[in-house]
Amino acid sequence: MRWLWELDRKGLCSVLSRESLKHWNTWGVGGVAPLVLRPRTFPVLRDICVAAKQEGVPLHLLGEGSNVLVPDEGLPGWVLLLRDDPTPPALLGTRGPLREFRVPGGVSLRRLVSWSLRRGLSGLEFALGIPGTLGGALAGNAGAQGDSIGDHVSFLEIQEEDGVVRRCARSDLSFAYRTSPFQKEKTLILSAGLLLAPTEEAELRRRARAFGDLRRNQPRMCKTAGCVFRNPPGFSAGRLLDLAGCKGLVRGGARVSPRHANFIENVQDASASDILELALQCRERVANAHGVNLEFEVRLLGPTP
């Protein structure tokens, strides 16, 4: 393990031992990981993945932790953080009316959206108000109102568990509602090609405002992980939860948002089990009231109920 501390000393990877994962997810819950690693370069990232595989150490990948529930028991092995990458998008060329950019997976979605708006580039307005990294968004095909990140991808550069880096063409990638081919934690999205459209400022502002308005009925300034459940075909999960009387339900320090029934807030130092038990209670209510089995949208890390 000394080589990891050596990387830390050289500024190539920050290494935190016995680190509470509460600091690394938006719900602010979860136990400890033996090591939390933040590699600064792709070669270092690759070396870490290869070493973990060789030594049989479990590896968990997190971006900003805005779509995960980390268990109270913590996570065994190493947690890799791919976030806060300051690299700006690089113009690769034009494709008809569109511009193609390469963007690293660890770039913050918020920074990316505001960069695209400042540059007069349309395509990412749906992501206004969505926290997380580009890599996390791609892994879950994050989206809003029928638009999603997968719709704007031209290629992906990924790293397999054994450290091999591959380029996937758009034609080889299948994205669907909150689904990507990369939902296994073992495949890392290193960077993506994104296609964006130069657009007039007034039109861009109009689109941005329309997506921004959608956030009005969502909880703000609270610790949440976005929507807990996926929308079942033809229905809104939030509406079903609301009709089943879930708004305002409380378990320990967790509460179903009074504004939006598909959000669970950590209001008072909730544990991960408070959140999970509350989510399961809501799911049961919806099953009893509407005969619909909701599926989790957030990733439950660790043992699944």
Ligand X SMILES: Cc1cc2nc3c(=O)[nH]c(=O)nc-3n(C[C@H](O)[C@H](O)[C@H](O)COP(=O)(O)OP(=O)(O)OC[C@H]3O[C@@H](n4cnc5c(N)ncnc54)[C@H](O)[C@@H]3O)c2cc1C
Kindly list the residues in this chain that would bind ligand X in the complex (CB under 6 A).
Answer: 26, 61-68, 82, 105, 109, 130-133, 135-137, 139-140, 142-144, 182, 185, 188-189, 224-226, 299
Which position among 49, 168, 227, 246 bears the catalytic label?
227
In this complex, which beta carbon is closest to ligand X, that of residue 64 or of residue 94? 64
In this complex, which beta carbon is closest to ligand X, that of residue 287 or of residue 296? 296
Question: How far does Cα 293 stand from its chain's mean position?
Answer: 23
**3-state SS class at 12:** coil
User: What is the rounded CA–CA span in Å between residue 102 and residue 89?
Assistant: 6
Which position among 19, 64, 125, 297 bears the catalytic label?
297
User: What is the rounded CA–CA span in Å between residue 140 and residue 10?
Assistant: 33
297 is catalytic: yes
Strands 121-122 and 188-198: antiparallel
In this complex, which beta carbon is closest to ligand X, that of residue 63 or of residue 283? 63
Residue 142 near residue 178 (C-beta atoms within 8 A): yes
Angstrom distances, CA of residue 294 to CA of 64, 239, 278: 25, 12, 14
From 45, 26, 54, 69, select the one nearest 190 (Cα to Cα). 45
Least Å distance between CB 127 and ligand X? 8
The terminus-to-terminus CA distance of the chain in angstroms comes to 34
Least Å distance between CB 68 and ligand X? 4
Question: How far does Cα 227 stand from its chain's mean position?
Answer: 12
User: What is the rounded CA–CA span in Å between residue 95 and residue 173?
Assistant: 19
Least Å distance between CB 9 and ligand X? 25
In this complex, which beta carbon is closest to ligand X, that of residue 202 or of residue 221? 221
From 19, 60, 62, 15, select the one nearest 39 (Cα to Cα). 15
Least Å distance between CB 230 and ligand X? 10
In this complex, which beta carbon is closest to ligand X, that of residue 289 or of residue 300? 300
Which position among 38, 178, 251, 255 bears the catalytic label?
178
In this complex, which beta carbon is closest to ligand X, that of residue 62 or of residue 98? 62
Least Å distance between CB 20 and ligand X? 16
**Strand spans (E) along 110-220:** 121-122, 143-144, 147-148, 153-159, 165-169, 188-198
Least Å distance between CB 228 and ligand X? 10
Q: Tell me which residues are annotated as active site.
A: 178, 227, 297
